[in-house]
Chains A and B, each alone.
Chain A
Amino acid sequence: MKRSSSLALFSSALALCAAASASAAQPGDPPDGLAKIETVVVIFAENRAFDNLYGHFPGADGIDKASQESLQQRDRDGSVLSELPPVWDGLTAKGVTPPVTQAMTEHLPNGPFTVNDAKGFNVPLSVTTHDLWHRYYQNQMQINGGKNDMFVAWGDSGAMPMSNWDTSKGDMWAVAQKYVLADHFFMGGFGGSFFNHQWLICACAPYYADADKNPAKPSISMTDDSGTALKIADNSPKSARDGIPKFVSDGNLTPDFYAVNTMQPPYQPSGNDPAAGGDPLLADPAKPTTLPPQSEPTIGDMLSLKHVTWAWYSGAWQYTLDHGNHTPTPNFQYHHQPFNYYANYAPGTEARREHLRDAGLSGVSFIQAIDDGVLPQVSFYKPQGNLNEHSGYADIQAGDRHIADVVAHLEKSPQWPHMLVVVTYDENGGIWDHVAPPKGDRWGPGTRIPAIIVSPFAKHGYVDHTPYDTTSILRLITERFELPVLHGIVVRDRAVAAHGEPPLGDLTGGLDLN
């Protein structure tokens, strides 16, 4: 069903959510004591699979427990690769000295490799490495029905998806050891950052009405008969050893016009400039990558409905508005600001002023709010680009240290005694993980990602094996503050149940509320 952006439909969707709230029974009633949590903080880093950072964490379902089937990557024809292809254009990002070149990555064995292995490439955690495709259809093709054996075949970076890091000396590793590491937490949607930020706040797929009659028409993807994979072009290299795959149309929209890969916000700050002579607060709607304003209910709408205070804190938000973006610092990412796609938070609205807050450069304003004990009941924190751990433009160490510093401030906050913090990643960044995602609905869940639960109520030194996905954060917030349930969560829960999978949890598996 195509959606309109009318207020009437928004209202009916709210009513639907309210109705769903009354009948929602999965994954079970909220545990007693949930009301002890008065402050929820969600920290959303970038682009790391679970095995990439925590594959050797004691007690976790790590690389050591991977089946031979998932360790070995297959070629595009289904045969097992005799060796990994090289990392096309080299393993390290442009400008890194000394570089790890493409030639140095030839003839890697078919399996995972550790980037900072002293006997291998010996690249430290402070170095930025090659980015990888992390796109909606490719992610499904790579997962290959749960076998996770086509990450190399349907990637754009040769061996790179099989990379992992020893992060056991990292600051967040120590935080995970102190509190709870969830080792079966999956990204809410397949693919990339744009889509998974939407899943964090909306549990929905954004929509571009009448895309076939609008500037985005050439960005409509062409899938094969399965509807879950892209149609391969005739000139695509037959083997992963021969080059990057080519597709007939690898766009940002599904054939039925849902936006699943990166589109720009309709409001500034946006990657797309205002139209010439147009409203300077808007992005040019004639650009093919500008997504029209969205109207689906979000968790923000639900919180506001129940008069629960909340904010999305974004690093370098105001800096970018005032001074424009700069690289490599702060390297603000326009498509990591999910509420900036919604009409309810358009420039000039009271909701925008109240809820979309500047976290400051390097999160300084957010940290000040933590120290002052003035965080709203629910906070989302998005680190600026150079601190988010995204391959290609950020390293792991800077983000790891920054987030651990934020956690240290949270532990000392006046609000700490009744606080729950979730530190997770938006998606896997195109990187392999060995655990099959739960079978869900059309949109996800996708690949497994790290999640750390930090709280005075967290079980200490605990690895939580409960199945979760990004919407589990929404489940927790929804249950704690008795909100209407977002429709996408209802659909996800039903789909998971229909596949005979255990229900996705609400993060309380990592808590001791007694």
Chain B
Amino acid sequence: MDADKIVALVTAGGIELTDRRRNATDDGWSLSFANGATVEVGDDGSARIGGKGTKAVARLLDPPRNA
């Protein structure tokens, strides 16, 4: 799953994207959402969810669910 698809799915669920930037190692994207969730999306398609709103975002992405 790429960053664009994740943003589309999460924002369609009413959770606004608040920040999007390349990660420190330049091998993926770091996304932040208004509910406090963050999603680290690797260029290889991996995704890791963290932060306060993890469950809500995981439910919208489903899979990945590797928070």
Q: State whether A334 and B59 are in contact (beta carbons under 8 Å apart), knowing that A192-B16, A393-B13 are contacts in the complex.
A: no
Q: Please name all residues of chain B whose beta carbon is closer than 8 Å to the beta carbon of A88 when the two chains form the complex.
A: 8, 12
In the assembled complex, how far is the CB of residue B5 from the closest CB belonging to chain A, in whole angstroms?
A: 9
Bound together, the chains give a CA A324 to CA B53 distance in angstroms of 10
**What B residues does A394 contact at CB under 8 A?**
14
Tell me whether A264 is interfacial, beta carbon within 8 Å: yes
User: Does the CB pair A156–B11 fall under 8 Å?
Assistant: yes
| A390-B36 contact in complex given A94-B60, A156-B8, A252-B19, C-beta closer than 8 Å | no
- Return chain A residues, CB-CB under 8 Å to B8: 88-89, 156, 244
Secondary structure at the B interface, as helix, strand, loop or mixed, is mixed
Asked whether B18 lies within 8 Å of A393 as measured between CB atoms, the reply is: no
Are A335 and B34 touching (Cβ within 8 A)?
yes
Residue B65 at the chain A interface, CB threshold 8 Å: no
B15 in contact (CB, < 8 A) = yes
What's the Cα separation between A69 and B18 when bound, in Å?
34
- Our pick among A130, A270, A289 for the contact of B12 (Cβ within 8 Å) is A130
Q: Which of A284-318 contact B (CB under 8 A)?
A: 287-289
Q: Is the CB of A390 within 8 A of B52?
A: no
Decide if B21 touches A218 in the complex (CB within 8 Å).
yes
Assess the B52–A273 pair: CB atoms within 8 A.
yes
The number of chain B residues touching the other chain, given as a range, is 20 to 34
- The digit string for B9-33, where 1 denotes a CB below 8 A from any CB of A, is 1011111101101000000000011
CA distance A192 to B15 in the complex (A): 12
A128→B14 CA distance, assembly (Å):
10
In whole angstroms, what is the CA distance A261 to B19 when docked? 10
- Among the listed B11, B19, B62, which residue makes an inter-chain contact with A289, where contact means beta carbons less than 8 Å apart? B19
- Cα of A273 to Cα of B50 in the assembled complex, Å: 11
In the complex, which of the residues B12, B13, B34 contacts A271, with contact meaning CB atoms closer than 8 Å? B34
Which A residues touch B9, using CB under 8 A?
89, 94
Can you list, as one digit per residue, whether each of A89-101 has a CB less than 8 Å from chain B (1) or not (0)? 1000111000000
Any B CB within 8 A of the CB of A333: yes
Q: Which residues does chain B contribute within 8 Å of A272, judged by CB atoms?
A: 36
Query: How many interface contacts (CB-CB < 8 Å) are there between A and B?
Result: 91
Say yes or no for B1: interface residue by CB 8 A criterion.
no
* Distance, CA A392 to CA B57, complexed state (A): 12
B67 surroundings in chain A (CB, below 8 A): none
Is A431 an interface position by the 8 A CB rule? no
Q: Which of A318-337 contact B (CB under 8 A)?
A: 324-327, 331, 333-335
- How many whole Å from A395's CB to the nearest CB in chain B? 11
Asked if residues B52 and A324 are in contact (CB atoms below 8 Å), the reply is yes
How far is B14's CA from A93's CA once the two chains are assembled, in angstroms?
9
Known: A156-B8, A271-B53, A288-B32. A262 touches B14 (CB 8 A): no
CB distance from B62 to the nearest CB of A (A): 8
Residues of B within 8 A of A289 (CB): 18-19, 32
Q: Which residue from A131, A327, A335, A390 sits with its C-beta under 8 Å from B56?
A: A327
Q: How far is the CB of B11 from chain A (nearest CB, A)?
A: 6
Q: Smallest Cβ distance from B55 to chain A, in angstroms? A: 7
* Chain B residue at smallest Cβ distance from A217: B21
The CA of A149 and the CA of B9, in the complex, are separated in Å by: 26
User: Once bound together, how far apart are the Cα atoms of A261 and B21, in whole Å?
Assistant: 16
Interface residues of A (CB under 8 A from B): 88-89, 93-95, 128, 130-131, 133, 156-157, 192, 218-219, 244, 252, 261-264, 270-273, 287-289, 324-327, 331, 333-335, 390-394
Q: Beyond the given A244-B8, A393-B15, could you list 15 further A-B residue pairs with CB under 8 A, ordered by the A residue number? A: A88-B8, A88-B12, A93-B12, A93-B13, A94-B60, A130-B12, A264-B34, A271-B34, A271-B36, A273-B52, A289-B32, A327-B55, A334-B34, A334-B36, A335-B34
- Which 3 residue pairs are nearest across A and B when measured between Cβ atoms? A392-B14, A271-B36, A393-B14
